[in-house]
């Protein structure tokens, strides 16, 4: 099941995020639109995916994981087909915002992590880390560029839709949890799930939202700004490209590394270490300046950043129980949208206002240190209370 979840997560995120960058310039030329409009599709996917997270949780509870994920695959594939036939940029943006964004919520990281968590209790960290390794996100640009060169950007979107169809046989074999086969219209519930109202009343949940959302925003900022940051340091385009490639490889390792840490240390301690690593890496970028030492520091950002979502998954399962995981992650996605949608552009504003990246590096290093303190304090407090279902909380 871990392999099936890995394939679903990678097709969802790899097609949407990995292939997006190489499609921007061809789409801009094809529809004669501004760069800002041509790059609006991905933010719309993030917004839609976050807003429809609770929909995914409700679907999992009502019809089960397999039916939910199969529906998401088909819906997302229809979105890519709509882009392939789109007569205008408005249709492209609508396809990103609706079928693709909703499809990702139904078969992407959230349900894939839930599936892995169901099968690998009581220590799901390694499995969740494995599932969230962004392999296809790194490979999609390399595979997609020859497709664009051979058949144009429309051929790319046909290929992305085809990748979804090829995923259907693997998704068809999904079983919700060991020893249970979920029939149509029947969802399996291992234990009562926490209600949304009760969850939203818990200070610890809002601590996770604030800290996890900020770390996710920092990760998005790093991904979007790494290449221009390295170029501003005086690196060549080739050196920046190599740095970005190793950043992707570090991200793949980081997801699995964080999962292993979660199994040994618990979610809150792992998030503390990730926040410290992120802070130290941005501080190293600031201190290194234009020296060659800045490149390894930039690569390490991928290692720390990719571990945040698996750690949040493991922490939520430990705190609230596996049955509550879809609801917790769905609400987490909605509640963190102001951070993940607004903070990364603020880094660009700060860069423009100060005339460079040093101010951005200093600000993020300080934020990372504060988040490490926040998670450490939360871990100390959480360790003194019983967890959901009577188990000790993993701090």
Among 3.40.228.10, 1.20.1250.20, 3.10.20.30, 2.130.10.10, what is the CATH number of 196-390? 1.20.1250.20
Could you read off the pLDDT of 71-123 as tens digits, one per residue? 999 999 999 999 999 999 999 999 999 999 999 999 999 999 999 999 998 88
pTM above threshold 0.75: yes
**Among 54, 70, 100, 9, CA closest to 325:** 54
pLDDT category at 148 given cuts 50, 70, 90 is very high
Lowest-confidence segment of 22-26, 35-39, 180-184, 335-339 by average pLDDT = 180-184
CA–CA gap between residue 106 and residue 69 (Å, rounded): 5
Residue 312 has pLDDT above 70, yes or no: yes
pLDDT score, position 290 = 65
Q: CB of 228 within 8 A of CB of 355?
A: no
Q: Where in the chain is the domain with CATH 1.20.1250.20?
A: 2-172, 196-390
In whole angstroms, give the CA distance from residue 287 to residue 272: 22
Which residues are CB-neighbours of 336 under 8 A, at least 6 positions away? 50, 209, 212, 213, 216
| 385 pLDDT higher than 60 | no
pLDDT of residue 375: 96
The token pair at 250 is 């570090």
- 116 in Cβ contact with 124 (< 8 Å): yes
> What are the φ/ψ torsions at residue 271 (nearest 5 degrees)?
-65, -35
CATH number of 2-172: 1.20.1250.20
First to last CA, the chain: 27
What contacts 31, CB < 8 A, 6 or more positions away?
38, 88, 89, 92
Confidence of residue 392 (pLDDT cuts 50, 70, 90): very low
**Are 96 and 79 spatial neighbours (Cβ–Cβ below 8 Å)?**
yes
**Does the structure show a pLDDT above 50 at 186?**
no
């Amino acid at each position: 099941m871990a392999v099936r979840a890995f394939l679903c997560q990678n097709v969802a995120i790899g097609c949407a995020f990995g292939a997006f960058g190489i499609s921007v310039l061809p789409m801009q030329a094809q529809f004669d639109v501004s760069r800002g409009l041509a790059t609006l599709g991905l933010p719309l996917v993030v917004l839609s995916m976050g807003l429809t997270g609770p929909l995914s949780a409700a679907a999992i509870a009502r019809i089960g994981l397999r039916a939910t994920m199969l529906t998401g695959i088909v819906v997302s594939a229809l979105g890519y087909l709509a882009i392939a036939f789109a007569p205008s940029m408005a249709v492209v943006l609508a396809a990103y915002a609706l079928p693709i964004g909703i499809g990702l919520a139904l078969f992407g990281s959230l349900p894939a992590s839930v599936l892995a968590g169901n099968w690998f209790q009581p220590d799901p960290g390694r499995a969740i880390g494995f599932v969230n390794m962004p392999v296809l996100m790194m490979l999609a640009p390399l595979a997609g560029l020859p497709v664009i060169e051979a058949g144009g950007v429309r051929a790319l979107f046909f290929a992305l839709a085809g990748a979804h169809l090829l995923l259907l046989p693997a998704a068809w074999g999904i079983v919700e949890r060991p020893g249970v086969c979920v029939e149509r219209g029947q969802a399996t519930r291992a234990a009562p799930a926490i209600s949304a109202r009760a969850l939203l009343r818990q200070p610890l949940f809002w601590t996770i939202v604030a800290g996890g959302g900020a770390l996710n925003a920092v990760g998005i900022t790093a991904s979007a700004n790494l290449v221009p940051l390295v170029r501003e340091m005086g690196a060549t385009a080739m050196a920046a490209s190599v740095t970005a490639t190793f950043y992707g490889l570090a991200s793949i390792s980081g997801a699995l590394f964080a999962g292993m840490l979660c199994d040994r240390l618990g979610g809150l301690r792992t998030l503390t270490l990730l926040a410290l690593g992120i802070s130290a890496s941005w501080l190293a970028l600031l201190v290194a300046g234009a020296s060659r030492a800045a490149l390894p520091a930039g690569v390490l950002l991928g290692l720390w950043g990719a571990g945040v979502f698996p750690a949040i998954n493991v922490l939520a399962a430990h705190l609230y129980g596996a049955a509550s995981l879809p609801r917790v992650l769905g609400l987490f996605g909605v509640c963190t949208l102001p951070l993940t949608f607004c903070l990364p552009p603020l880094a660009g504003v700060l860069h423009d206002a100060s005339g460079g990246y040093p101010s951005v590096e200093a600000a993020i290093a300080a934020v990372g240190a504060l988040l490490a303190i926040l998670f450490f304090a939360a871990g100390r407090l959480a360790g003194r209370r019983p967890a959901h279902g009577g188990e000790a909380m993993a701090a």
